[in-house]
Structure 1
Amino acid sequence: MARKAGLSHGLVNFHFQSKELLLEETLGYLSDEYRENWMQALAAAAADPASQLDALIRADFSPQLFTPARLAAWVAFWGEAQSRPLYQEKCGTKDEDHARRKEEICAALIREGGYQGDAGRISRALRLVTEGVWMDLVTMARPYDREEGLATVHCAAAAFFPAHFGPDGMLPARSAAGQGPQ
Structure 2
Amino acid sequence: MTIASQNPPLPAPAAAAGPAVADVTALLPSREALLGQLAAQLPEAAERPASLIALGLLRRDDGWPAPQSTLAQVTTLLARSVRGDDWLAFSGPAEFGIVLAGPPSAAHAAASRLVVAVADQGIPGLWAAAGIAPVDPALSAGEVFRRATLSLTAARRVGAGTVIRYREPA
- TM-score of the pair, normalised by structure 1: 0.27
- The higher relative CO (CA closer than 8 Å, separation ≥ 6) is in 2
Question: If you compute each CA radius of gyration, which structure gives the higher value, 1 or 2?
Answer: 1
| Higher percent of residues as strand | 2
| Higher percent of residues as helix | 1
